[in-house]
A and B are shown apart, each in its own frame.
Chain A
Amino acid sequence: MRHFLDFEKPIAELEGKIEELRHLGDDGRLSIAEEVGKLQEKVTRLIRQTYSRLTPWQRTQVARHPDRPHFSHYVARLVEGFTPLAGDRAFGEDRAVVGGIGRFRGHSAVILGHEKGADTEGRLRHNFGMARPEGYRKARRLMRLAERFRLPVISFVDTPGAYPGVDAEARGQAEAIARSIETCLEIRVPFVAAIIGEGGSGGAVAIAAADRVLMLEHAIYSVISPEGCASILWRSGDKAEEAAEALKLTAADLERLGAIDGVVKEPLGGAHREPEAAIDAVGEALEAALAGLRAVDGGVLRAQRRDKYLRMGSLGLSG
């Protein structure tokens, strides 16, 4: 069953019609095949139109689309011999952040990211990609491991945000995120991050302060969710659409503001329509980014990374 978003209704209707005609067309009448062809063209046009002018709020829906490829899909397609490593060595194993070692394009790497889960059971197991302190402490441990063995770090960002719970607070959620950011900025190995869905606030930046930050065309990356922002600044959750607009959370906006380094184009109609093509595009972009970093001395990488973030805000505001 394909999920359609609200604004995709006209697309869903057309595709439904095509499906119906196909059933009728089993007798091989030419006129039906012709009609299907015409409708197919029409639907492609419609998708192109719709997706070329997505509003930030619509993009937010696309970024959260249940069929959008998640961390585990990327790993399955891009990483050979992925060997997950578990635990923060202090309290527990947080499945909202998955990480391990594997081979990406022939090179060993530490790969980590938020995993939202694909079905109800998976979503519960991965806590919808909302990490507790253990998740960030595990990320930190893996980044350190990468540094020890001079492996690049590839992170995939896809989280609504850090988990807001009593247990998470009791075990130092803020400290865990702060240390994870600190570690991002300390490691002397190439570090590339890809925002593949939702980049929700501190929980996202915790594993995204990288040498190169790539972002999928319809992903979002924001200091707060549009809903959260609306409920605070507009005092009404219904104003999420306006908040999404105001927050400038789309890939194009963020590139202009200098907060990310590159945008990866998605297949027509979004990554959820053609997950494999989307994953491959991200793979290409990651490889291109890493290729430029592999030969650079670790100390220089670290210095450049820090310099980039240190300047962020005073410069990079020409947009």
Chain B
Amino acid sequence: MNWLTSFVRPKIQTLLRKREVPENLWHKCPACEQMIFHRDLEKNLCVCPHCGHHLRIAAARRLDMLFDDGAYQKIELPKTAPDPLRFRDLKRYSERLKEAQARTGLQDAAIVAHGRMGGRQVVVAAFEFEFLGGSMGLAVGEALVAAGRLAVLQGAPLVVIPSSGGARMQEGILSLVQMPRTTIAVNQVKEAGLPYVVVLTDPTTGGVSASFAMLGDIALAEPGAVIGFAGQRVIQETIREKLPEGFQRAEYLYEHGMVDMVVPRGKLRETLIRIFSLLCDRGPAGEVVALPRHDLDIPAREAVPGAEAAAGPASPTPPLP
């Protein structure tokens, strides 16, 4: 396969597909089941104008919404071994991969981009749920590592926007070890003193939630997003009782102290810009005031017993017997 077919064609396909969507199309809201005119839905950032339900959106659309003027640079990610286990269930994994690549125009389930957000350089890694449920395997791990490195290199905050069912089963243990791997990736950003903000979107579950997604300096969540470790069906089968109302939704996590804010999609960009500004532009430094030196010059050796207490503040209350 040459460079042209492997890289350029998928991009062209994306462009074509975008134009294929008829302008007069109607969508049905999965939450309130009302019909929404395509253009209205687009204008409203894929949030239902009737009930406020946040529909899942493509990773590229996320980037369009977040960066200044929708302008950003996508980075090319290092290749990883495709189908390392030669996995086959009802279908070959290699075929599932190819189909997902053709359908989404992406190499795998995460894309990494950098650009300006409120004038500030920011790195974003966004998940594409349409790509095998946004599942995390080698390529997604690689994307997170690359995003972390880029953020450190640029001295930029990192935003990760998961939308993922969890680990990619078809990559077996190699998907599981992406949990420690991505944990290191985001911690390198934090250790460099840079903000790491996660935007938990629908869904963030399994191995993705139990690694980098829960380690943000600040955790934002989109309204109604399902966020949790175990799948609801598994829990239901285990406990055999009805799940509580709103269980594992963003608002439920907020109530349980697991996220900082539930932020509607329309407010996401300004919220991120404000957070970065507050964390990174700390305002004018305080005036440097010289400490009166003599207060600190306590000669350790020559000190006369009792002299320190006399020079210091009033003696503390003696401990009670």
Contacts and interface: CB of A to CB of B under 8 A. Distances in A.
Contacts of B177: 205, 259, 309, 312-313
A166 B211 contact: no
A122 to B, nearest CB: 19
A168 B229 contact: yes
A178 B213 contact: yes
A173 B228 contact: yes
A197 B211 CA distance: 23
Interface string A217-233: 00001111000110011
Interface in A240-258: 242-243, 246-249, 253-254, 257
A310 B181 contact: yes
A77 to B, nearest CB: 29
B244 interface: yes
Contacts of A224: 167, 169
B184 A223 contact: no
A309 B179 CA distance: 9
Interface string B207-241: 10111111100000000000111110011001100
Nearest to B96: A233
A165 B235 contact: yes
Contacts of A179: 214-215
Interface of B: 78, 80-81, 84-85, 87-90, 138, 141-142, 145, 167-181, 183-185, 187, 205-207, 209-215, 227-231, 234-235, 238-239, 243-244, 247-248, 252, 256-258
For the residues of A in contact with B, the DSSP-based class is: helix
Given A178-B213, A181-B211, A209-B180, 18 more contacts: A162-B229, A166-B244, A168-B229, A169-B248, A178-B212, A185-B187, A201-B207, A202-B179, A222-B176, A223-B168, A223-B171, A248-B173, A249-B173, A257-B85, A309-B184, A310-B145, A310-B181, A317-B138
Contacts of A317: 81, 84, 138, 174
Contacts, number: 180
Nearest to B255: A170
Interface of A: 162-166, 168-175, 177-179, 181-182, 184-186, 201-202, 205-206, 209, 221-224, 228-229, 232-235, 242-243, 246-249, 253-254, 257, 259, 306, 309-310, 312-314, 317
B173 A313 contact: no
A189 to B, nearest CB: 17
A164 B215 contact: no
Contacts of B141: 313
A310 B230 contact: no
A248 B178 contact: no
Contact of B89 (A163, A177, A233): A233
Contact of A174 (B80, B81, B84, B228): B228
A42 to B, nearest CB: 37
B214 A174 contact: yes
A306 B182 CA distance: 11
B181 A162 contact: no
B173 A221 contact: yes
A178 B210 contact: yes
A246 B247 CA distance: 33
Of B247, B256, B258, chain A has the most CB atoms within 10 Å of the CB of B258
A310 B146 CA distance: 11
18 contacts: A163-B238, A165-B239, A166-B243, A172-B258, A178-B212, A178-B214, A178-B215, A202-B229, A205-B180, A209-B179, A224-B167, A224-B169, A228-B234, A310-B181, A312-B174, A312-B181, A313-B141, A317-B138
A173 B185 contact: no
B169 A233 contact: yes
Contacts of B227: 174
Contact of A246 (B88, B181, B229, B238): B88
A30 B252 CA distance: 75
Contacts of B234: 164, 228
B239 A185 contact: no
A185 B184 contact: yes
Given A165-B235, A173-B228, A254 B142 contact: no
Contact of B207 (A182, A223, A243): A223
Contacts of B174: 257, 259, 312-313, 317
Nearest to B173: A259
B80 A310 contact: no
Given A178-B183, A181-B183, A259-B173, A166 B235 contact: yes
Contact of A257 (B84, B87, B89, B258): B84
A172 B212 CA distance: 14
B210 A177 contact: yes
A228 B235 CA distance: 13
Of B87, B89, B145, B243, chain A has the most CB atoms within 10 Å of the CB of B89
Given A169-B235, A171-B256, A202-B206, A313 B181 contact: yes
